[in-house]
Structure 1
Amino acid sequence: MIGNSYFFGYGSLVNRASHSFEAAIPAQLTGWRRIWRHTTLRPVAYLTVVPDPEAEIDGLIAPVPDADWPALDAREAAYIRAPAAHQVRHPLPHAPEIAVYTIPDGLHAAPSHAHPILLSYLDVVVQGYFREFGAAGVQRFFDTTQGWDAPLLDDRSAPRYPRHQPLTAVERALTDQHLERLGVSILARDR
């Protein structure tokens, strides 16, 4: 039986191949914006959300297995869990408890050359948005995410992201097209 505890995923959790959360469904979160940030807990930049009353982002909601929030909190160790049920639009017939993971204000900073975005991580995120929301959803992902002035490390040939996925030529080209459109600075390939 599916419980009443859900989380909203807006980054790598949108890619079903990167996790085993059952019964995930597309949803939209209002009042939050995605942004690239880094903390002292990780050597690279990653996505978080920050409050923004004008924003709406696509993502997935999924039931928390066995309502075991501590296990999910461990996976999302760099984040805190914030209530978001009243800010999520979804097709469920009931009104579940829904949380979103965010890095607390004051505990994150802009990406830097020492803390770049990993292309292997971005590829997983874009692949998820493409499979869930199509090319238009990928466009919305790029357009509703801030921080594209961050440096990006091309680690595709030796992925550093532990949940990296194989890409199709279409998926690779879609990511590259948007990076070029936004003028993202790509660092030399990882060695």
Structure 2
Amino acid sequence: MTNPRFFGYGSLVNLATHVYPDPTPAQLVGWRRVWCHAKARPVAFLSVEPCPKTTLHGITAQVPDADWAALDLREHAYNRRDVTDQFTSQTAVYEANPDHTAPPSTGHPILLSYLDVVIAGYSTLMGEAGPIHFFETTAGWGPVLNDRDSPLYPRAQPLSAQTRACVDDAIADLSLEIRPLA
């Protein structure tokens, strides 16, 4: 029996944040990333939504013995959607329930420590092209909470100077509001 797989498009691209086996670069056609928030979470998080003209780069990895429990717990604000039609084996992507989400807001900012982890993953996966792809295929940008020195994101990782500069430059290019951690 072949183990099912998930498609990761955010923090799951950073292999330091999980131990799922056989991570493989992959693409998901007809979807884009979007920042949103939900009542269940105090900060913004990434989701996906259908977008016919967009292709997302990311990874797929195995879910051993089809034991989705741990991954479902990690992705608790999401619905697991079947995207097997785009892959050679059973594959799912996690999408926030659109009935319970809204764009980022001042009360639900994007954590800088979370964005750092995602961009570090894309830099490792695709080199310099990874972060460029991420920023070009992500919508719904909102305010950013600068928690870099005291990360609130539970899977925060050490940050290279190159990744830090990449994230900071992109935030400036997008003219995003940066709020200090109170």
Bucket of the pairwise TM-score, normalised by the shorter protein: over 0.9
* CA apart distance, 1:135: 1.0
* Preserved CA contact (<8 Å) 1:30 1:53: yes
Aligned residue number for residue 145 of structure 1: 138
**Identical counterparts, % of pairs:** 51
Aligned residue number for residue 185 of structure 1: 177
* CA apart distance, 1:45: 0.2
**Does residue 48 of structure 2 align to residue 49 of structure 1?**
yes
CA RMSD of aligned residues (A): 1.2
> Gapped runs of 5+ residues in structure 1?
89-94
* Preserved CA contact (<8 Å) 1:130 1:137: yes
TM-score by length of 1: 0.92
* CA apart distance, 1:104: 1.9
Give the alignment partner of residue 163 of structure 1, picking from 139, 155, 158. Answer: 155
Aligned residue number for residue 21 of structure 1: 20
Distance 2:82 2:65 in 1: 18
TM-score by length of 2: 0.96
* Preserved CA contact (<8 Å) 2:40 2:77: yes
Distance 1:20 1:70 in 2: 14
Distance 1:9 1:161 in 2: 17
* Preserved CA contact (<8 Å) 1:79 1:104: yes
Distance 1:53 1:177 in 2: 28
What's the secondary structure of 1:62's corresponding residue?
Answer: strand
Tell me how many residue pairs correspond in the alignment.
182
Structure 1 runs, 4 residues or longer, greater than 2 Å off: none
Distance 1:48 1:113 in 2: 18
Aligned residue number for residue 132 of structure 1: 125
* CA apart distance, 1:71: 2.6
* CA apart distance, 1:3: 2.9
Deviates most, 68-77 or 40-49: 68-77
> Gapped runs of 5+ residues in structure 2?
none
